[in-house]
């Protein structure tokens, strides 16, 4: 057997967002959110049912499924494979929209129930946070014990899940292993075979049950994702190189100017040699620094997280914050 890659939007929707996968979604959410009574999810209302989407610009790269638990809370579930600009803002926007859309015109605000946005990413969002799962709520700045629970964002970063099959213990472990490894498996692992919902997820993900058109859609999705990741990496590398080259040219010009000035004072030969050497070295360093700053500014404008900016530019948190204040 060969299985779909659950991390693509096509497969994720097919496995978790179709009318035949309700028990799969319920098991997945109860495990991932570690829900207990009275918050167990028993019924799901998939407002955005699975449709085999075409490429057409790939704007629909995530699953938007809403479900309710025993206590009436709402959940938004997303699987995101590309770290695109403005991603975190879109998550917050979708959650706020789901919260406000609960009321019709004139209805009382007391009818509002909690909204929880669960986002699973195939990339690391928060390098500074070692946990696999991170939760965000509205908290009082001076007392974190005081928080507003009506809006909650939960992020699970799959690259941080490193367990092997032998190390799987909880139902959550098994679901995350399924998401991470299904595409590379040829049979259902023994450790996962005792969970009926996960077995059903494997059955849905079995490529043998796909139509030729569905297979083509899935393959094109995977190719697109790889191309986009390559393009993002290339753009970052190119921007760093261009920034460094621009800075080196500027540094060389400053070095020549400095060398000529010192040559007139201390002797043309000695001054030129010393001025050019020092100026070029200073220019290279300055160029690299300016190049990194230019890249950081663009990433800040695109709403990229500080951890990602720090990774690609080497700037400190204080330097990034200083740039943010200047924008």
pLDDT for res 54: 35
Query: Which string of b and e fits 315-324 if b means at least 16 CB within 10 Å?
Result: beeebbeebe
Q: Which residues, 6 or more positions from 121, have their beta carbon under 8 angstroms from its beta carbon?
A: 80, 81, 83, 155, 156, 157, 158
Q: Is residue 264 left, alpha or beta, with left meaning phi > 0 and alpha meaning psi from -120 to 50? A: alpha
113-147 tens-digit pLDDT: 778 888 888 888 888 999 999 999 888 888 877 77
Q: What is the pLDDT of residue 2?
A: 83
Residues 202 and 209: beta-carbon distance below 8 Å:
no
Q: Is the pLDDT of residue 198 over 90?
A: yes
pLDDT tens for each residue of 206-228: 875 666 666 666 566 555 555 55
Per-residue pLDDT of 52-67, as tens digits, reads 333 333 344 445 556 6
Residue owning tokens 């579930």 = 77
Burial class (CB in 10 A: 0-12, 13-18, 19+), 179: buried
Give CA separation, 297 vs 32, 302, 304, 312, in Å. 36, 9, 10, 12
Average pLDDT over residues 308-315: 81
What pLDDT does residue 201 have? 93
> pLDDT class for 167, splitting at 50, 70, 90?
very high
Higher pLDDT, residue 301 or 260: 301
The mean per-residue pLDDT over the stretch 82-98 comes to 74
Under 8 Å between Cβ of 70 and 42: yes
Residues 6+ apart with CB under 8 A from 257: 279
Task: State the Cα–Cα distance between residues 212 and 214, nearest whole angstrom.
Answer: 5
Q: Where are the domains of the chain?
A: 9-210, 235-326
Q: What angle do CA 219, 161, 12 make, to 5 degrees?
A: 35
Instruction: Decide the pairing of beta strands 115-121 and 133-139.
Output: unpaired
**pLDDT tens for residues 250-285?**
766 776 677 666 655 555 556 556 666 666 666 656
Q: Is the pLDDT of residue 11 over 90?
A: no
3-state secondary structure of 98: helix
Q: Who has greater pLDDT, 169 or 222?
A: 169
Q: From CA 26, how far away is CA 46, in angstroms rounded?
A: 11
Banded model confidence at residue 193, pLDDT cuts 50, 70, 90: very high
Give the whole-angstrom CA distance, residue 180 versus residue 174. Answer: 10
Structure tokens at 119: 């986002």
> What value does the mean pLDDT of the chain take?
75
Give CA angle at 20 (17, 23), nearest 5°. Answer: 80
Decide if pLDDT at 238 tops 50: yes
Residues 26, 69 contacting (CB under 8 angstroms): no
User: For 193-199, what is the mean pLDDT?
Assistant: 94
- Non-local CB neighbours of 59 within 8 Å, separated by 6+ positions: none
Residue 77: enclosing H or E segment and its boundaries?
strand 74-80
């Amino acid at each position: 057997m060969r299985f779909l890659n659950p991390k693509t939007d096509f497969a994720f929707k097919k496995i978790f967002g179709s009318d035949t996968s309700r028990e799969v979604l319920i098991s997945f959410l109860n495990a991932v959110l570690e829900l207990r009574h009275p918050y167990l999810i028993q019924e799901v209302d998939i407002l955005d049912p699975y449709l085999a989407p075409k490429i057409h610009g790939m704007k629909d790269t995530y699953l938007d499924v809403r479900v309710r638990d025993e206590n009436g809370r709402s959940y938004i579930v997303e699987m995101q494979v590309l770290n695109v600009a403005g991603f975190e803002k879109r998550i917050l926007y979708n959650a706020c929209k789901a919260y406000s859309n609960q009321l019709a015109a004139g209805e009382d605000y007391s009818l509002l129930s909690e909204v929880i946005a669960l986002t699973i990413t195939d990339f690391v969002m928060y390098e500074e946070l070692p946990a696999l799962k991170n939760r965000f709520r509205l908290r009082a700045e001076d007392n974190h014990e005081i928080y507003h629970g009506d809006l909650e964002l939960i992020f699970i970063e799959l690259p941080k899940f490193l367990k092997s099959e032998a190390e799987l213990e909880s139902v959550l472990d098994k679901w995350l292993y399924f998401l991470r490894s299904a595409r590379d498996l040829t049979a259902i692992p023994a450790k996962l075979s005792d969970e009926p919902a996960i077995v059903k997820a494997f059955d849905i993900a079995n490529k043998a049950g796909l139509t030729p058109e569905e297979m083509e859609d899935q393959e094109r999705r995977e190719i697109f994702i790889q191309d986009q990741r390559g393009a993002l990496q290339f753009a970052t590398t190119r921007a760093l190189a261009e920034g460094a080259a621009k800075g080196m040219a500027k540094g060389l010009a400053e070095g020549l100017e400095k060398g000529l000035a010192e040559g007139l004072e201390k002797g043309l030969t000695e001054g030129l040699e010393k001025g050019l050497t020092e100026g070029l070295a200073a220019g290279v360093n300055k160029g690299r620094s300016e190049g990194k700053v230019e890249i950081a500014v663009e990433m800040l404008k695109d709403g990229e997280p500080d951890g990602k900016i720090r990774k690609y530019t080497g700037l400190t948190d204080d330097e990034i914050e200083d740039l943010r204040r200047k924008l």
